[in-house]
Chain A
Amino acid sequence: MKISLNWIKDYVALEASVEELSRALTLLGLEVEQIIRTGAPQLDQVFVGEVLVRDKHPNADKLSVCQVDLGSAGGVKTIVCGAQNYTVGDRVPVALAGAVLPGNFVIKQSKIRGQLSDGMMCSAKELGVAEDADGLLILAGRPALGTPINAVLPAGDVVFDLEITPNRPDCQSHLGIARELAAWFKLPLIYPQEKFRGKVEGELHPELLRNVSVLSPEDCPLYTAHVIKGIKIGPSPAWLRERLTAVGLRPINNVVDVGNYVMLETGQPLHAFDARKLAGHQIVVRRAADGEKITTLDGKERTLSSRMLVIADAAQPVVIAGIMGGENSGVSADTTDLVLECAIFRRQTVRWTSKHLGLTSDSSYRYERGVDPHSALEAAYRAVDLILETAGGQVVGPAFQVGGDVPWKREIVVTHGYICDKLGFEIPAAEMRTALESLELTISREEPTDARGPAWTVTIPSWRDDLDRPIDLVEEVLRLYGTDKIPAAVVNSPGLIGDDDPVVLFNRRVTDYLVGHDFHECVSYTLRSSKEISTWVSQTAAVELALANPFVDDQSHLRPTIIMGLLESLKLNQSRGVPVTQLCEVGRVFIERNGQNYECAAAGFVIAEPVGERSWLKRTPADFYATKKHVVAIAAGAGIDLARAPLVPVTGSFYGWQEGHSAASGEMAHGWTARFGLLNLAMVRALGVEGKVFAGVFAILPEKLTGEGTRRRYADFSLMPAALRDFALVVDLAVQSDEVRKTLAKIARAAIGNAFALEHVEVFDVYQGQGLPEGKKSLAFSLVFRSAERTLTDDEVNAVGQKIQDEIAKSTPWQIRK
């Protein structure tokens, strides 16, 4: 909302500087977004002078030495001047020593080519009143000598562009802002003098307006129409044009300008019809018919629906209520008789209509936020006054009024003690009372209370619908007291027992792990493209994870995995020539299962081949087993032991992962899932990422994270020496090592019985090739035996070894490799 300072000064005698005003507005809660200065700035030591003598400068061809009379402002002065456009007898602006012209140009007495000059005669540009100027500003009308120049130049204005919060529709007007400033500076608020005040001359004129009917009173609680006859459309007077221009409106004609002026003054939108153009001389306020059409002032045809309210004549809609008039019903150059509408429309109706038509206006903006129904007629009277003043004519017949019969009355009882308790510091009762009253919140009753200070019954004016409870008055008191005066204090922090949310603990643990293992933490957008999701996850996911109203096409879906964002970052770094290998991200993903989406806590990482990066020392490149290590650690951070979960190699149904080189574990049915290994080479290449990319992801339902791990229990361990035996088994290529390991452990335990313990079984060699049949591989295991009480003898260990060999031969398809 743009507010002109000159305009505001009609209602409050402000003397504060622009800086002080800006601070006051800010602390009142009216955020100043911009300050725009127009016209002449304040110019001290610049006066009207008359050129008495103009002599050529003895030492410079283009300069003159003038005697200039400044009258009461210092008499005759000598001024050296380079302009050519003046003659003796012209009156011009003269800046004397001490003047500061725009651009911080300080005027001093000085010698110019040997001639003393007492100051400077000025151009319009030098005074800051024009962008460009040729020569001196010759003052028309021979103003008195020595007059301060600001009294002669067009007054400057300062326009404050304010952000008005939605709870303060009353501040969508100059009067509203003036009220706030008057309260702040403790000055009286001067309302405009109204002459008309609803007085009616003459009789009804049905040939101009026969009837007003409101068919949808819930959408239009008040409708008034004044009829003005015999006006003359023309340009507005200069003062009116200046004010509208200052706040960014284009002057149209006297009637339209008055409507806008009164709206900007009072906050009440108005609309003027040409009485001739109303078919049947009727106004009908009704819902539009579905599909009904109107061409609005901006020349666009709009299709209406039955949820929209229109002002219609006997034939058709002429205005979209509260939003914009029709092309053919408005005031034109030849209009002589007016119908002036001043109405209240339900804000929700205006808002809905405005939104669905994509059409907003200064009027709809105000109706959406709420216009005070109890001040509406005041605005109509004010508009009538100004129309009669600027366009002539006379009001005929009594005004039409439908609705508006619910009186306003609201009182809030609040105590001084309550306000102090909410604030946490004391403000004297008298000061609070003054603050409330300065906002026209009148105190109708004051009573002493048992507690501190009095209780007040505060009468709320109709334009402050936002004030409804005692707490609302706390804010009013504090606003006027000054939020910059809230006293400092130490933080009040009595102990509370609690821990961070388990998801927060998981995120922190996993991020610490990954960063500790040389990953760079990334943050990617949650919203991804449909194509990406159908390519990397599934068609179903691309359906289920879609937004209803994406803003841009490539951010239309929730991310089901963290990998896609990391690949994008890999690509970005590669394309910028930045060496990149290890990236990670921790955050939410959304996993679709059986038509339901689940929001999961998740972590993911990528390990890329260092493409094009040369190193003086070669390192072993990353592989599947590196990703396994990290995923096991991440899962452990969520309390999941991956070693106890079945691990399956991925097959074709797992999008995005390279078959035979990646694995999966966990099911969303159990609340978590993990994938890791090599990303599909072709898909990675198609994306434009160079080289092989290993990756891992882990996701878990937040409710599965409990935060408290199970307490560890210490187990005894033996101090006796171990006995080792190795077994190499020849198995089919497709057999997984863990299956063999588990079987071998089981056989070994059976062979030992209770004699001693099998401490450990682990694979230490995998071999295929020469010496083995086609389609076979050898898995070598190391078995560690130990007793808690004694050193094992070779004989007993050998006996167990024999039993194991016998059992393998008997019950497994595997051969012992000798």
Chain B
Amino acid sequence: MQATLTALVAKAQSDLAALKARPEFEAAKARLVGPNGELTALMKQMGAVPKDQRPAMGKLINETKTALQALLDAALGTIEAAELQAQLGPAVDPTLPSPDAGPGSYHPLTLVREEMCRILRKVGFTVADGPEVETEYYCFDALNTPADHPARDTQDSFFFPPTARFGNVSKHTPDEKYLLRTHTSSVQIRTMLKGAPPIRIVSPGRTYRRDTSDATHSANFHQLECLYVDKNVTVRDLKALLDYIFGSLLGKATKTRFRPHYFSYTEPSFEVDLSALHLPKVKKEWIEIGGCGMVDPSVFAGVGYDPEVWSGYAFGMGLERLAMLLYGIDDIRYFYQNDLRFLKQFA
């Protein structure tokens, strides 16, 4: 019997090692240790073993059983490992490119706009929005620019025919003409009329001028404006904001300069120059970047704010110009062509 058991283990060892798949394994397992298996059959012969030999024989059968189980476990392990291996294809070449397009990219104008909004958000400005189709009142009259004012010349505008109707752009007076806004300052008027001071908003958006398109001009462009209304606002506060904005955006090495200028809706008014010689492609010491000033008392009076009580400042700039400066882009038309070789540079 002992020899039979030893032979059983030896045979199992060679049989199990050759197994490749689960069904063969299950069959082999049944044959060896199943209820009708060979080991079970041998165990049934225990009755015929002399009583004094039984403990030794019992021990031997148990050892055989353990040995077979170990062999079965090992065989199953091999099969399972082979099964997992079969789920894998050939090894990858990690240097092959992903066939999926991507990643996507934000447009550089979006990147600059959002960065400016973040910078301004930190000092309490929220982002306001308003219609691109405007009326003469919001675009000019409320900004102290009457119909015959030469300042209207400098922003020759796109108008709509008198018959045009815009269901969700409100007029201030019935016979106003609709036009495409020439600046985002119209948002300031709508915000002031809707709310009450103090106010602190930034209004980025599309603006339009009837102008020839070339490397630095576009009939369709983007502006970003800030309006701050509170008590006792000063020229020094305005300068502090601009120093803060451009220091944050372009680095501490950036300097700003005010040049006295004229805008009908601010008094005093300034043009803002930047000195940022550390930026790429910047060759001139001073680069004009925007306009600003203290809100003209007549603008406050027009929206029903008492100019004796409220004061404020406004600042505006072109986003294309800023993006061109920031990234060293030479031609404004690239922003509107959407060549992927341009767009992907900002991914």
Footprint of B on A, CB under 8 Å?
Answer: 26-29, 31, 165-168, 347-348, 351-352, 368-369, 421-425, 469, 471-472, 474-475, 478-479, 483-484, 486-496, 498-501, 503-504, 508, 511, 514-527, 544, 546-551, 555, 558, 569, 572-573, 576, 578-584, 587-588, 590, 593, 595-599, 610, 615-619, 701-703
Asked if residues A547 and B297 are in contact (CB atoms below 8 Å), the reply is no
**Contacts A478-B268, A525-B336, A599-B133 given; does A422 touch B234 at CB 8 Å:** yes
- Residue of B128, B240, B257 with highest tally of chain A CB at under 10 A: B240
Say whether B47 faces chain A, with CB atoms less than 8 Å apart. no
Partner of A498, one of B126, B149, B241, B267: B126
Max chain A CB contacts within 10 Å: which of B100, B212, B296, B340? B340
Residue B132 lies at the interface, judged by CB distance under 8 Å to chain A: yes
- Interface contact A520-B259, CB-CB below 8 Å: no
Bound state CA distance, A521 and B108, in angstroms? 9
Q: Chain A residue with minimal CB distance to B222?
A: A523
User: Which of B97, B169, B219, B257 meets A527, CB within 8 Å?
Assistant: B219
CB atoms of B206 and A588 under 8 A apart: yes
CA distance A291 to B338 in the complex (A): 51
Taking a contact as CB atoms closer than 8 A, the residue among B124, B126, B341 that contacts A578 in the complex is B341
B313-347 contacts to A (CB < 8 Å): 335-341, 343-344, 347
Partner-binding segment picked from B7-15, B49-57, B72-80, B153-161: B153-161
Which residues of the other chain, B, contact A27 by a CB distance below 8 angstroms?
A: 259-260
* B residues at A contact (CB < 8 Å): 96-97, 99-107, 109-110, 114, 117, 123-124, 126-129, 131-133, 148-151, 154, 158-161, 164-169, 180, 198, 200, 206, 208, 210-212, 219-220, 230, 232-237, 239-241, 243-244, 257-262, 267-271, 294, 296-297, 311, 335-341, 343-344, 347
Q: Bound complex: CA of A229 vs CA of B347, how far in Å?
A: 78
A469 to chain B: which residues have CB within 8 Å? 267, 297
Cβ contacts under 8 Å, B233 to chain A: 492
Q: Name which residue of chain B comes closest to A474, CB basis.
A: B268
Give, as a whole number of angstroms, the nearest-CB distance from B149 to chain A: 8
Residues of A within 8 A of B258 (CB): 483-484, 486
CB atoms of B168 and A598 under 8 A apart = yes
Nearest-neighbour CB distance to chain A for B51, whole angstroms, equals 53
Distance in Å: Cβ of B298 to nearest Cβ of chain A: 9
9 example contacts (A-B, Cβ-Cβ < 8 A) are as follows A29-B261, A29-B262, A422-B235, A483-B258, A520-B347, A521-B107, A523-B335, A569-B338, A587-B206
B234 in contact with A475 (CB, 8 Å)? no
Q: How far is the CB of A111 from chain B (nearest CB, A)?
A: 40
Tell me whether B259 and A702 are in contact (CB under 8 A). no
- A581 adjacent to B114 (CB under 8 Å): no
Given known contacts A491-B241, A494-B124, A504 and B129 CB-to-CB distance under 8 angstroms: yes
Whole-angstrom CA separation of A600 from B151 in the bound complex: 30
Alpha-carbon distance A483/B258, docked complex (angstroms) = 6
Kindly identify which residue among A351, A474, A492, A619 contacts B99, using a CB–CB cutoff of 8 Å.
A619
Q: Which residues of A contact B100 (CB under 8 A)?
A: 518, 619
Which of B117, B128, B235 meets A424, CB within 8 Å?
A: B235
B99 and A583 form a contact (CB under 8 A)? no
B336 touches A523 (CB 8 A): yes
Whether the pair A492, B237 counts as a contact (CB closer than 8 A) is yes
The reply to whether B340 and A521 contact each other, CB–CB distance below 8 Å, is no
Distance (whole angstroms) from the CB of B247 to the closest CB of chain A:
10
Question: Taking CB as reference atom, which chain B residue is nearest A506?
Answer: B129
Among A472, A488, A496, A548, point to the contact of B200 (Cβ < 8 A).
A496
Using Cβ atoms and an 8 Å threshold, which residues of chain B touch A167?
262
A18 to nearest B CB, angstroms? Answer: 16
List chain A residues, Cβ under 8 A from B212: 551
Q: How far apart are the CA atoms of A759 and B12 in the complex, in Å?
A: 52
Does the CB pair A503–B166 fall under 8 Å? Answer: no
Residue of A nearest to B213 (CB): A552
Q: Are B104 and A515 in contact (CB under 8 A)?
A: yes
